[in-house]
């Protein structure tokens, strides 16, 4: 299984599935954001990922790296707020790290994602435990070295772990102690990305298994 | 809500703004508002922007003597770098562009990216960060103080310097000076409702108020039983003065958050002036009105800026924008 590789089509499917997940969960993301932010995380990501999905369908890039860098640029140009530059940088840097390979392995993607996560941390200045998307992204990128399912679980656990945290970055940080007890919307949307990745990988494996 | 559908609120507003202000160039598709006479030869151009929902900030401050361009984002969401780059390219006369950026993570990240891209096009760019909100106490462990009412002071005063032909370094240093000498504190009597969510962004029962709020419907740091206008003025002005300690006269902005009647704001201003008098702080100029708002939030903020002769002269200089207009 570990020798499995994934091409541009898989990455397009991933981001399309992520767009669907964001669309489905937009209400919940906005609800979480209204508790400790400004009630727009769902709508903002919805707008960005819808644009990504539309572009991928119209002009599908040929390599995994190009799919991710293109999507990252699109998020930066359409989302705004903090999540636009942060998610845009995550995908752009991950895509750049993949280079122009036609196909990449799961472990290759895990390494590239680690570079993407590091870039997000540099840009936003957040560290693990600050109650941000990094608390889901970091553990997920690491667990992806083991399996897609482990990455999904690590992201979900990371998002849940933000509940008791005190926010130190982003808009929730203005609340001080009052940010405690709420799940971070950014960590929650990050978990959606990894759930979509695991779903698409599961589907790809199933197809592989039957052929 | 007086809207069609949530999805078109920002664009509908810009179309109406364009119809009301033919003296400005409004690019609805790219959500950019520009001085019609830009670029103005020899002049530094101020470009600002931010999430929508704070009107008249920023588009209402575009015009001679203030901003050359403003970019509107989605509600409470920073605009994207593409807008800022486009606005900067449209207004730069060759004298350079000053980005006025409110200190929020999103605004900072997007303007940083825009500054890099704008410089790549051979345009000189400087940035000033506005961070005046004293309600954010623990700046080391937060995203830092928020940019609120002082944005108006920075845009007006630095805009006057630019209009007078000051070079970019001077306009930038004046903008920094204004921000460094300004502090704000805000109070909410009700939460605001974003069109996308359709319900209040936080629960604030009748008979309670929220102290130290921001301008995005984010709750503040402390909730108390309702206070009188005079008690709120004592609290807000003291919070500002604890941090500012002005040695000379101040500019005062008594700002409404959107849903508080002007009558109440003027009454509140009387209390603010009383407190300042009791604390021995002379007031050089006062502005009362809804300038840096938070949709339909009820409440107010107080911004004070310690102003020397230089800054007062620039404050008094003519300005001609939809929201601020005097002189000439």
B31 touches chain A (CB under 8 A): no
| Interatomic CA distance for residues A148 and A155, integer angstroms | 11
| Inter-chain residue contact A173 with B110, CB threshold 8 Å | no
Please report residues of A whose CB lies closer than 8 A to that of B138: 176
Average pLDDT over residues A21-35: 93
Please report residues of B whose CB lies closer than 8 A to that of A76: 80-81, 113
Look at residue A211 and tell me whether its pLDDT is greater than 50: no
| pLDDT class of A192 with cuts at 50, 70, 90 | very high
Could you tell me if B305 and B181 are in contact, meaning their C-beta atoms sit under 8 angstroms apart? yes
| Inter-chain residue contact B141 with A40, CB threshold 8 Å | no
Q: Which residues contact B117 (CB under 8 A, 6 or more apart)?
A: B81, B85
3-state SS class at A12:
helix
For chain A, the 3-state helix, strand and coil shares in percent, each to the nearest 5, are 75, 0, 25
pLDDT per position as a tens digit, A44-94: 999 999 999 999 999 999 999 999 999 999 999 999 999 999 999 999 999
B151 touches chain A (CB under 8 A): no
Residues β-bridged to residue A105: A5
Q: Backbone phi, then psi, for B101, in 5-degree steps?
A: -120, 125
The minimum CA-CA distance between A167 and chain B, rounded to whole Å, is 8
Query: So what's the pLDDT on residue B203?
Result: 81
The minimum CA-CA distance between B52 and chain A, rounded to whole Å, is 11
State which residue of chain A sits closest to B80, comparing Cα positions.
Answer: A80
Active site residue B216: yes
Query: So what's the pLDDT on residue A39?
Result: 79
Query: So what's the pLDDT on residue A210?
Result: 47
| Interatomic CA distance for residues B217 and B31, integer angstroms | 23
Name the residue among A80, A170, A172 with its Cβ closest to that of B77.
A80
| Inter-chain residue contact A38 with B76, CB threshold 8 Å | yes
3-state SS class at A65:
helix
Cα-based distances in Å from B230 to B2, B233, B236: 33, 5, 10
ipTM here: 0.87
Q: How many CB pairs under 8 A join A and B?
A: 114
Residues β-bridged to residue B164: none
Ramachandran category for residue A170: left, alpha or beta (phi over 0 → left; psi -120 to 50 → alpha):
left
Query: So what's the pLDDT on residue A36?
Result: 85
Average pLDDT over residues A94-120: 97
Q: How far from the centroid of its chain's Cα atoms is residue B108's Cα?
A: 15
CA angle, residues B269, B271, B274, in degrees to nearest 5? 110
B185 touches chain A (CB under 8 A): no
If you ran DSSP here, which 8-state letter would residue A2 be given?
T
Average pLDDT over residues B176-184: 98
Omega before B56 within 30 of 0, i.e. cis: yes
Domains of chain B as residue ranges with CATH: 6-181 (3.40.50.10440), 182-306 (3.30.1180.20)
Average pLDDT over chain B, rounded to whole? 95
Please report residues of A whose CB lies closer than 8 A to that of B202: 34-35
| Inter-chain residue contact A76 with B80, CB threshold 8 Å | yes
| Interatomic CA distance for residues B91 and B36, integer angstroms | 9
Name the residue among A34, A39, A124 with its Cβ closest to that of B105.
A124
| pLDDT class of B194 with cuts at 50, 70, 90 | confident
Residues β-bridged to residue B35: B24
B202 touches chain A (CB under 8 A): yes
B52 touches chain A (CB under 8 A): no
| pLDDT class of B136 with cuts at 50, 70, 90 | confident
SS3 track for chain B:
CCCCCHHHHHHHHHHHHHHHCCCEEEECCCCEEEECCCCCCCCCEEEEEEEECCCCCCHHHECCCCECEEEEEEECCCCCHHHHHHHHHHHCCCCCEEEEEECCHHHHHHHHHHHHHHHHCCCCEEEEEECCECCCCCHHHCCCCCCCCHHHHHHHHHHHHHHCCCCHHHHHHHHHHHHHCEEEEEEECCCCECCCCCCECCCCCCCEEEECCCCCCCCCCEEEECCCHHHHHHHHHHHHHHHHCCCCCEEEEEEECECCCHHHHHHHHHHHHHHHHHCCCCEEEEEEECCCCCCCECEEEEEEEECCHHHHHHHHCCEECCCCEECC
pLDDT per position as a tens digit, B126-135: 999 999 999 8
Could you tell me if A121 and A113 are in contact, meaning their C-beta atoms sit under 8 angstroms apart? no
**Among candidates A87, A99, A158, which has minimal Cα distance to A129?**
A158
| Inter-chain residue contact A77 with B138, CB threshold 8 Å | no
Which homologous superfamily does the CATH classification assign to the domain defined by A5-210? Answer: DhaL domain (1.25.40.340)
Query: So what's the pLDDT on residue B241?
Result: 97
In the stretch 71-90 of chain B, residues with CB closer than 8 A to chain A read 73-82
Active site residue B54: yes
Average pLDDT over residues B27-50: 98
H/E segment holding residue A14: helix A8-36
Look at residue A184 and tell me whether its pLDDT is greater than 80: yes
How is residue B238 written in tokens? 């003291």
Average pLDDT over residues A31-43: 86
Q: Are strands B97-102 and B125-130 parallel, antiparallel or unpaired?
A: parallel
Average pLDDT over chain A, rounded to whole? 93
Q: Which residue in the list B54, B86, B145, B177 is annotated as catalytic?
A: B54
Query: So what's the pLDDT on residue B142?
Result: 72
| Interatomic CA distance for residues B327 and B318, integer angstroms | 4
pLDDT per position as a tens digit, B196-222: 778 887 788 889 999 998 888 777 778
Interface test with A, best of B112, B142, B211 (most A CBs within 10 A): B142
Query: So what's the pLDDT on residue B293?
Result: 98
pLDDT per position as a tens digit, B226-269: 999 999 999 999 999 999 999 999 999 999 999 999 999 999 99
Look at residue B91 and tell me whether its pLDDT is greater than 80: yes
How is residue B28 written in tokens? 């609805």
Query: So what's the pLDDT on residue B197?
Result: 79
| pLDDT class of B13 with cuts at 50, 70, 90 | very high
> What letters, b where the CB count within 10 A reaches 16 and e where it falls short, cover A179-211?
beebbbbbbbbbbbbbbbbbbbbeebeeeeeee
Does A177 or B35 have the greater pLDDT score? Answer: B35
Please report residues of A whose CB lies closer than 8 A to that of B203: none
B218 touches chain A (CB under 8 A): yes
Q: How far from the centroid of its chain's Cα atoms is residue A110's Cα?
A: 13
Query: So what's the pLDDT on residue B138?
Result: 66
């Amino acid at each position: 299984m570990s020798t499995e590789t994934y091409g541009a089509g898989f990455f397009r499917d991933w981001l399309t599935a992520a767009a669907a997940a964001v669309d489905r969960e937009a209400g919940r993301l906005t609800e979480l954001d209204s508790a400790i932010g400004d009630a727009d995380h769902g709508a903002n990501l919805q707008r960005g990922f819808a644009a990504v999905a539309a572009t991928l369908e119209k002009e599908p890039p040929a390599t995994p790296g190009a799919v991710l860098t293109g999507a990252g640029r699109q998020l930066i140009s359409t989302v705004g707020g903090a999540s636009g530059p942060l998610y845009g940088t995550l995908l752009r840097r991950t895509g750049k790290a993949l280079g122009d390979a036609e196909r990449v392995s799961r472990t290759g993607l895990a390494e590239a994602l680690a570079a993407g996560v590091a870039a997000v941390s540099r840009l936003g200045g957040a560290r693990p435990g600050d109650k941000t998307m990094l608390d889901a992204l970091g553990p997920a990128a690491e667990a992806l070295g083991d399996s897609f399912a482990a990455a999904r679980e690590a992201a979900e656990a990371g998002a849940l772990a933000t509940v008791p945290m005190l926010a130190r970055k982003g808009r929730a940080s203005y609340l001080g102690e009052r940010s405690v007890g709420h799940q971070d919307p950014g960590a929650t949307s990050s978990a959606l990305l990894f759930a979509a990745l695991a779903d698409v990988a599961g589907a790809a494996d199933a197809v592989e298994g039957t052929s | 809500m007086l809207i069609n559908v949530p999805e078109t609120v920002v664009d509908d507003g810009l179309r109406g703004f364009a119809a009301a202000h033919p003296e400005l160039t409004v690019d609805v598709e790219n959500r950019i508002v520009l001085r019609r006479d830009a670029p103005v030869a020899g002049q530094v151009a101020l470009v600002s922007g931010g999430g929508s929902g704070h009107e008249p900030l920023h588009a209402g401050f575009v015009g001679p003597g203030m901003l050359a361009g403003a970019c509107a984002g989605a509600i409470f969401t920073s605009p994207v770098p593409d807008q800022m780059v486009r606005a900067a390219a449209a207004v730069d006369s060759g004298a350079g562009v000053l980005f006025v950026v409110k200190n929020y993570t999103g605004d900072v990240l997007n303007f940083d990216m825009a500054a890099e891209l704008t410089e790549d096009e051979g345009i000189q760019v400087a940035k000033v960060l506005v961070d005046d909100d004293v309600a954010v106490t623990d700046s080391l462990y937060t995203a830092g103080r928020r940019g609120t009412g002082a944005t108006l002071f920075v845009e007006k005063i630095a805009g006057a310097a630019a209009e007078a032909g000051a070079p970019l370094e001077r306009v930038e240093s004046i903008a920094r000076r204004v921000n460094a000498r300004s502090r704000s504190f805000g109070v909410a009597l009700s939460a605001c409702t974003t069109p996308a969510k359709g319900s209040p962004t936080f629960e604030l029962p009748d008979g309670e108020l929220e102290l130290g709020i921001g301008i995005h419907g984010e709750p503040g740091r402390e909730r108390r039983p309702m206070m009188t206008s005079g008690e709120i003025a004592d609290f807000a002005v003291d919070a500002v003065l604890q941090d500012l300690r002005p040695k000379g006269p101040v500019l005062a902005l008594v700002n409404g958050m959107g849903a508080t009647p002007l009558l109440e704001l003027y009454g509140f201003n009387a209390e603010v002036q009383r407190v300042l008098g009791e604390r021995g702080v002379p007031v050089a100029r006062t502005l009362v009105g809804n300038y840096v708002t938070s949709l339909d939030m009820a409440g107010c903020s107080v911004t004070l800026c310690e102003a020397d002769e230089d800054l007062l002269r620039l404050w008094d200089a003519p300005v001609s924008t939809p929201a601020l207009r005097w002189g000439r």
